[in-house]
Structure 1
Amino acid sequence: MTVQPCLVAGRGLAASLAVWLLVGCTGCTGVPILVPDLALASAPVQLAGARGPLSPAKSKAILDRLAVQGQDTGIFERHLAVEEALTGSPLTTGNQVLLLQDGPATYQAMFAAIESARDHINLETYILDDDEVGQRFAQALIAKQEQGVQVNVIRDSVGTVGTPAAFFQRLSDSGINVLEFNPLNPLASRKEWELNRRDHRKLLIVDGQTAFMGGINISSVYSGGSFSQRSRMRPDGSPAWRDTDLQLKGPVVAEFQKLFLATWADQRGGPLPTRNYFPAPGSPGRLVVRAIGSSPDEDYSLIYATLLSAIASAETSVYITNAYFVPDPQLLAALVTAAGRGVDVKLILPSQTDSWLVFHAGRGFYEPLLRAGVQIHERQGAILHAKTALIDGVWATVGSTNLDWRSFLHNHELNAVVLGTEFGLQVQAMFDRDLALSTRITLDAWERRALHWRVQELFARTWAYWL
């Protein structure tokens, strides 16, 4: 594949502007233009199971079964070998995947897993707030540390900038290893100071056997559900947040564990206590899953590259739900081209947001998409924070990656790709539920939008590169 060659992480406009003023745009580059080597599409894809790589024949049999389930799609034939060459991470079989929608369901499953921990807990998060939910996590983690379970935590410096130092000191005093990712304070940096690089991943691994990942941070903003009218408001009267996570068991957990340990080592967190970080995984399910971690240390975002490849391979449908949508020209072209060849392209985007600039910058791209036949729907009744995609009903991804320049260029992100209709049908049902709670934006209505909306879009788009 050929690669042809600053955004600011923050929890609000003030933080973003402050950091941008610090770093300016020195060293900024565009999102790389990715040109996949189509010759890779003929390479055989080898799956990995609980005991290591499967034989070529067994790998082919599993993928052939998934391809038959997909019907009317060439995504398996044309895409998977390219994806594997792009990411370098194996497709693993024998996994169990549970789709978790919104904070309450996710936190309940996380607390149950933490309570069952017997060896270690590894937590990596962008936001860890000192609020009701954050305190519950702190209490649960401290309790396990006191029981002899080793707890290791990576927290992003910008994402936790509002969390008091005393909160983390309490964790450290209990014996928990707490690592601050890329500290805001250059004097606290353990390597070259790169303020613009942030750890946007959300990952919890328990005993090397169960992993949770997706878009959900540790914060009370997720304390309400977002589907029923009754639960759409949080106890304080603010809108519920709509997000998605996965609970995974099986061989793929080891791939997430490798990513956590690699981040710890890269940030020079020091030696971790010896624990059984890679137990025998078994085969608790039958789903085929790939773990993909993106880092600005790579020549290009692995998640961005594989998403572009999947959209280019789509034959029937591309259904995307994303919280922060500020596409670069290549992603925009991929969506427009897919719609142009008859693929049903639908986007569910926010109707309200916690980031004014991102919201209006994204809306500035509506017109070319609508003219190309892409359907755009805005989710009502909640703040949309989910990052999911379903292509041809058989290729699904859930993770932390937004469709904006920041995620593609400067963030450490984490996604899972799950193959087959068994999981695809669950994602489709979730997408349909969100669609029913969304308002469709038509080209005619969009062309008649008020002048003040146009002015805000124009202003916000000038900042798109830094969002």
Structure 2
Amino acid sequence: MLEYIQNNIFFSLIIINYIIAIGTAIFIILNNRNPITTVSYILALVVLPFLGLLVYYFFGQEYRKDKMFKRRKVFDNETVKKWEKKLMLNNCRLEDYENGFLQNKVNVVKLLQNNQKKPLVLGNDVEILINGEKKFEALFKDLKTAKHHIHVEYYMFNDDKIGTKLINALIEKAKEGVKVRVNYDYVASGISNKNINKMKSFGIEIFPFMPVWFPNLTRKLNYRNHRKIVVIDGVIGYVGGVNISDEYVNPCDKGYWRDTHCRLKGNIVKSIQSHFLLNWNFVSQQEIEITDHLFPDVESFGDIPVQIAASGPDSDYPHIMEALFTAINGANDYIKITTPYFIPNEQMLTALKTASRRGVDVELLIPKEGDSWAAKYATNSYISGLLESGIKVFHYCKGMVHAKTMIVDGLLTTIGTSNMDYRSFEINFEITALIYNENLSEKMVQIFKEDIEHCDVVELKKWEQRPFIEKVKESFSRLWAPLL
């Protein structure tokens, strides 16, 4: 037997591969996950010997139910409970607002208040920041004003020119006695040990999010912290798509990078703060003493109502996806979406198509040439169906559009880190601001129109005439859409 195996090593390995693959397939089926995801992984196991097992080993395991994050230790804190109770709007007040500024968007508010205990917060100021240039200009000004703490959490934190500038700014504040905490995603970031140690030497606490170190690789490679947030003194917060990397500030030697971030000031920052603390307790294995300095009483800075949605394996439900889904189903006039990756699940795809077919003007702006070959073709595989349902599709040609925004009926605007894809909805840690304000929505509509000036309009008749090989690439990429 041993001699036979030695003489037929490749055939023997194939047999062993499929024995393991069959067991894995049975395990996947018994997990009762999304059928499309289940079929995708089983297909990978069948048609990709060895590689299919690696794909599932690194990317396919589900940890939402593991409760590996210490959520309750933050949400059960008396300080957090006090501000949530103070800011939470009861159903009677929400019904009053339904006839006022909320109109039919009250269902989105109720969803997040009931599921995530995140209140709709009144009296905030919101500033839209287009591209990294505007975002970092505002951020560096705000960092100089910090008195108590600066909290930084980023998917991509590179120590290139803009990253080094931020590191130096944080060090200067640490020298002044400001408490600085930094959480960066281990897989996506490119920050050297030299700079990490430099920050630590000045008292900055810095931790990576879920380091990928063997043998724990399988639990950690798939679930990444895709959030990009900053909190300054519990009063000023930043949320959006701009990472800490030079391409986001559009240097001359790199292609154009179109993105959207927002600066928030007011009590809504408390919601962002609580999500930072959730991840901080996990990455640092600490329990920060939650004081009034972290959740200060602040005056009203404006008249804009905002709500924060966050999701990831630490949440019971895909809150961001559900909020967007509810908003789309409640749309009456128009929906304008900008996203770098459009690989929707069936719920979102059906919601958008039916919205269009019942008379809502649905427009989708996506990059013509993205930064991922597979994601580009997977996205393109949906375009024919969208166009047939009456959805307008625009290909952004000026560069890479990385903004993640949605505008609904001139009232609701979402700006955050979540793409319109399976990975953002189900796997990564994401955060999105939902802003209920007509003036801000009007500004966002104008920005959308300006972006369209740099787009090609995708027309169904012409799109159907694209080369057959392109359609093959799209169909093949779509098979793996849940894995991208």
| TM-score above 0.5 | yes
Does the CA-based 8 Å contact 1:202-1:214 persist in structure 2?
yes
CA distance in 1, matches of 2:133, 2:52: 33
Give me the CA root mean square deviation: 2.7
Partner of 1:164: 192
- State how far apart, in whole Å, the 1-side matches of 2:129 and 2:59 are: 38
Relative distance call for 1:241 and 1:26 in structure 2 (3 A) is: closer
- Is the aligned partner of 1:91 residue 2:120? yes
Which residue pairs with 1:174 in the alignment? 202
What are the ranges of 5 or more consecutive residues in structure 2 without an aligned counterpart?
A: 1-31, 42-50, 65-82
Counterpart position of 1:219? 245
Say if 2:220 is the partner of 1:203. no
Which one-letter code corresponds to 2:227 in the other structure? R
Matched residue, 2:20? none
Which residue matches 1:318? 335
Counting only pairs closer than 5 Å after superposition, residues 243-262 of structure 1 correspond to structure 2 as 243-262=259-278
> What aligned pairs does 1:254-273 form with structure 2 within 5 A after superposition?
254-272=270-288
Partner of 1:12: none
- CA 1:20/1:444 → structure 2, altered by over 3 Å: closer, same or farther? farther
- Determine the C-alpha separation between the residues in 1 that align with 2:345 and 2:89: 38
Q: What does residue 165 of structure 2 align with?
A: 136
For residue 445 of structure 1, the aligned residue among 442, 447, 462 is 462
Bigger radius of gyration among the two? 2
Deviation at 1:29? 10
Equivalent of 2:101 in 41, 45, 66: 66
CA distance in 2, matches of 1:361, 1:89: 34
- Number of residue pairs matched? 421
Shift of 1:330: 1.3
Find the residue that maps to 2:100 and give its secondary structure: helix
> How far apart are the structure 2 equivalents of 1:130 and 1:297?
29
Report the more deviating stretch, 376-385 or 270-279.
Answer: 270-279
Q: Among residues 126, 147, 156, which one is paired with 1:127 in the alignment?
A: 156
Q: Which residue of 1 aligns with 2:473?
A: 456
Distance in 2 (CA, whole Å) between partners of 1:24 and 1:53 is 40
Which residue of structure 1 lines up, in the alignment, with residue 69 of structure 2? none
**3-state secondary structure, aligned to 1:198:** coil
**Which residue among 133, 144, 152 is the counterpart of 1:104?**
133
Decide whether aligned partners of structure 1 residues 443 and 57 sit closer, same or farther in structure 2, where only a CA change above 3 A counts. same
How far off its partner does 1:194 sit?
3.1
TM normalised by structure 2 equals: 0.81
Shift of 1:439: 1.0
Equivalent position SS for 1:130: coil
In the TM superposition, residue 209 of structure 1 has moved relative to its aligned partner by 0.7
Within 2, Cα distance between the matches of 1:439 and 1:269?
Answer: 49
8 Å CA contact 2:256–2:400 kept in 1: the answer is yes
Deviation at 1:205, TM superposition (A): 0.6
Asked if the contact 1:186–1:193 (Cα under 8 Å) also holds between the matched residues in 2, the reply is no
Say if 1:142 and 1:188 are closer, same or farther in 2 by CA, change over 3 A. farther
Question: Is the CA contact (8 Å cut-off) linking 2:335 and 2:409 kept in structure 1?
Answer: yes
Separation in 2 of the partners of 1:370 and 1:165?
49
* Unaligned 5+ runs, structure 1: 9-16, 31-47, 68-73, 225-233
Following superposition, the deviation at residue 166 of structure 1 comes to 1.9
User: 1:354 Cα shift?
Assistant: 1.2
Query: Aligned-pair distance for 1:88?
Result: 2.7
Q: Against the structure 1 CA distance between its residues 165 and 21, is the aligned structure 2 distance closer, same or farther, given a 3 Å change threshold?
A: farther
- Which shows bigger deviation, 260-269 or 103-112? 260-269
Between the aligned residues of both structures, percent identity stands at: 31
User: TM-score normalised to the size of structure 1?
Assistant: 0.84
Which one has more relative contact order, counting CA pairs under 8 Å at least 6 apart?
A: 1
| Structure 1 residue 164: Cα displacement | 2.2
User: What is aligned with 1:23?
Assistant: 57
1:280-306 CA distances to partner (integer Å, 9 max, x unpaired)? 121111111001111122233100011
Correspondence for 1:43: none
Rate the CA distance shift 1:96–1:170 in 2: closer, same or farther, 3 A: same
* Inter-partner Cα distance in structure 1 for 2:377 and 2:176: 49
For the residue of structure 1 that corresponds to 2:445, the secondary structure is helix
What is the rounded CA distance, in whole Å, between the counterparts of 1:433 and 1:135 in structure 2?
Answer: 32
SS of match in other structure, 1:349: strand
Aligned to 2:5: none
The 1-side partners of 2:351 and 2:96 are apart by: 31
